[in-house]
C-alpha cells in the first residue's frame, strides 16, 4: 500500500505518518512575527495624507446655469406644443402656444380700439387746452375793457371835481352878495325910519336881498349836487372795478378748469397708452419661449386645452454648456478645516476609480477640485454647504458629467506619518488644522 521509508530502527513505515505528524519540522510563526515587527517601524514612518470624506452632487456655480422652471406669466389655455420632453432647444425657441381665457381680452381688435380711445382722449385734451387759451384771451380783453372804463370814469371824476370847485366859488360869490344885500337893507331900514329914502327904495333893496338869498341857496344846492355827483362817480368806479374783477376771476376759473380737465384727460391718455403697451406685451406672452438653450424636461402639463394659471410651471429646462461644480455638505466639527482654495479629490458616480485615501496621487479615476465658496449658514440637514470647482491645474472633469450626478469627495489635509495618523484616530482627534497659502502671498514671498 504505498512506498516505504527507511527509519533508524531499520523499520519500515508508510508515508502518511510523515505527512500527518510534523513534530520534527521547524515552525515559521516566529519568523513571520519577527518579520512583521521589523517591517512595522518602517511602515509607521511612511507618509500619509490626512483627509475628510464627504458626499455631494454635481451642480453649477452660476444660478442661471442650473435647471430652471418655465413659468407662464399669464393665465391661458394650451393650444399647441412645439416640443416634447427630451428635446434640445435654443434660446428663443417656442415651447408652446396659449389662448386667452379672460373675458377682458377676448376682443380681437382690442389694440385698435384702445388706440382709437387714445386718439379721442388726445383730441379732448387739445380742445381743453384751446378752451383755456380762449379764457386767457377773454381775461385779457376784460382787463383792457375795465382799464378803458376806469380811465373814462377817472376823467369824469376829474371834470366833476372841477365843476364842484366852480360851484363852490359860485356859493362863495352868492354869500358875499347876500352879505352886501343884508348891509344895504339894514342901512335902508335906518334911512327909511329917518325919512331919508322912500319906501319904494327900501322895497327895492329888500327885493335885492331876497334875490341874493335865492342865489345863495341855489348856488349851495348846485354845489351839493356836484359833490354828490362826485361821490356817485367814485361809487361807479368801485362798482366797475368789482364787476371787472368778478369777470376776470370767472375767466381765470374757466381757464384753470380747462387746464385741469386737459391734465386729467392727458393722464387718461397716459393710462391708455400704458394699457395699450400691456396689451401688446400680453399678445407676445401667448407664446412661451425658451429663456436659454437647453433640454426640455419634466413637462407639468399634458395634452391640449389644459388650463395654465398665472405663474404656474409648465416645464423645466436644463441648460447646456454649464460650468460644473460640486456641492458637498460638511459636518460643523470639520468646517474649520475647510478654506477657500483648498484642494479635494472626487469620485463621480458612473466613472470607475481605484482610491487610496492616504495616497491620493496613487489613486486612479479621481478628479481634482478646489473650494470656491463656503456658506456661512447651516443647511436644513444640519451641515454646511461647500461649493467646489474643477482644479485647472489637474486633469479636466468628464465632459458628459450631468447635473445631479453623485460625487464622493476627499478633502486633502496635511501630509503626516502613518504612525501619527494611527495615534490620532485612536485618540479621536480631528485632522490637523491649517490655512492654505494663497497665490498672492506666495508671490509676495518669492519677491521678498
Three-state DSSP class for residue 393 = coil
Q: Which 3 state secondary structure label does DSSP give 109?
A: coil
What's the confidence (pLDDT) of residue 387? 92
pTM: 0.54
Task: Set out the domains of the chain in order of their start, with CATH numbers.
Answer: 47-65+322-447 (2.40.30.170), 68-97+286-318 (2.40.50.100), 110-277 (1.10.287)
pLDDT beyond 50 at 292: yes
Task: Inform me whether the pLDDT recorded for 305 exceeds 60.
Answer: yes
As beta bridge partners, residue 325 has: 59, 389
Q: What is the pLDDT of residues 336-347, one digit of tens each?
A: 878 888 888 888
Closest CA to 319 of 409, 221, 403, 404: 403
Over range 361-376, report the average pLDDT: 80
Cα dist from 244 to 146, 223, 249, whole Å: 6, 32, 8
Sequence-separated (6 or more) residues with CB below 8 Å from residue 94? 82, 287, 288, 289
Among positive and negative, which fits the CA dihedral 363, 367, 368, 369? negative
96 CB contacts (<8 Å, ≥6 apart)? 78, 79, 80, 81, 82, 83, 287, 288, 314
Total residue count of the chain as it appears in this document: 448
| CA distances from residue 297 to 157, 313, 332, 342 in whole angstroms, order as listed | 98, 12, 36, 35
Question: What is the per-residue pLDDT across 202-258, written as a single tens digit (0 to 9) for each?
Answer: 777 777 777 778 888 887 888 888 888 888 888 888 888 888 888 888 888 888 888
* Residues 178, 115: Cα–Cα separation, whole Å: 93
Amino acid at each position: 500500500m504505498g512506498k516505504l521509508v527507511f527509519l533508524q530502527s531499520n523499520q519500515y513505515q508508510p508515508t502518511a505518518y510523515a505527512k500527518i505528524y510534523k513534530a520534527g519540522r521547524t515552525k515559521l510563526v516566529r519568523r513571520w512575527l519577527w518579520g512583521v515587527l521589523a517591517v512595522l517601524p518602517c511602515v509607521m514612518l511612511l507618509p500619509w495624507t490626512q483627509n475628510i470624506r464627504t458626499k455631494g452632487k454635481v451642480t453649477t456655480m452660476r444660478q442661471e446655469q442650473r435647471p430652471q422652471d418655465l413659468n407662464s406669466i399669464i393665465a391661458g389655455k394650451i393650444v399647441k406644443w412645439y416640443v416634447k420632453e427630451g428635446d434640445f432647444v435654443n434660446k428663443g425657441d417656442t415651447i408652446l402656444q396659449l389662448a386667452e381665457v379672460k373675458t377682458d381680452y377676448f376682443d380681437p381688435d382690442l389694440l385698435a380700439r384702445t388706440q382709437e380711445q387714445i386718439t379721442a382722449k388726445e383730441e379732448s385734451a387739445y380742445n381743453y387746452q384751446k378752451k383755456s387759451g380762449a379764457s386767457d384771451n377773454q381775461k385779457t380783453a376784460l382787463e383792457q375793457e375795465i382799464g378803458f372804463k376806469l380811465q373814462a370814469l377817472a376823467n369824469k371824476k376829474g371834470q366833476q371835481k372841477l365843476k364842484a370847485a366852480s360851484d363852490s366859488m359860485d356859493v362863495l360869490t352868492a354869500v358875499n352878495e347876500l352879505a352886501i344885500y343884508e348891509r344895504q337893507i339894514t342901512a335902508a331900514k335906518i334911512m327909511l325910519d329917518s325919512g331919508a329914502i322912500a319906501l319904494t327904495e327900501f322895497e327895492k333893496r329888500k327885493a335885492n336881498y331876497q334875490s341874493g338869498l335865492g342865489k345863495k341857496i341855489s348856488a349851495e344846492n348846485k354845489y351839493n349836487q356836484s359833490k354828490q355827483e362826485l361821490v356817485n362817480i367814485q361809487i361807479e368806479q368801485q362798482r366797475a372795478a368789482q364787476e371787472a374783477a368778478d369777470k376776470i376771476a370767472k375767466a381765470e376759473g374757466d381757464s384753470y378748469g380747462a387746464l385741469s380737465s386737459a391734465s386729467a384727460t392727458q393722464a387718461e391718455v397716459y393710462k391708455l397708452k400704458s394699457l395699450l403697451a400691456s396689451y401688446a406685451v400680453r399678445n407676445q406672452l401667448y407664446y412661451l419661449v425658451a429663456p436659454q438653450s437647453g433640454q426640455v424636461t419634466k413637462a407639468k402639463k399634458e395634452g391640449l386645452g389644459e388650463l395654465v394659471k398665472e405663474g404656474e410651471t409648465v416645464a423645466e429646462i436644463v441648460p447646456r454648456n454649464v460650468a460644473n461644480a460640486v456641492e458637498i455638505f460638511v459636518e460643523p466639527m470639520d468646517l474649520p478645516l475647510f478654506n477657500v482654495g483648498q484642494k479635494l479629490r472626487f469620485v463621480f458616480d458612473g466613472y470607475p476609480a481605484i482610491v487610496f485615501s492616504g495616497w491620493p496621487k496613487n489613486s486612479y479615476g479621481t478628479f481634482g477640485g478646489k473650494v470656491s465658496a463656503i456658506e456661512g449658514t447651516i443647511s436644513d440637514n444640519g451641515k454646511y454647504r461647500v461649493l467646489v470647482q474643477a482644479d485647472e491645474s489637474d486633469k479636466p472633469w468628464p465632459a458628459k458629467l450631468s447635473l445631479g450626478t453623485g460625487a464622493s469627495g476627499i478633502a486633502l489635509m496635511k501630509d503626516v506619518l502613518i504612525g501619527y495618523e494611527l495615534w490620532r484616530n485612536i485618540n479621536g482627534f480631528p485632522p490637523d488644522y491649517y490655512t492654505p497659502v494663497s497665490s498672492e502671498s506666495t508671490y509676495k514671498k518669492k519677491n521678498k
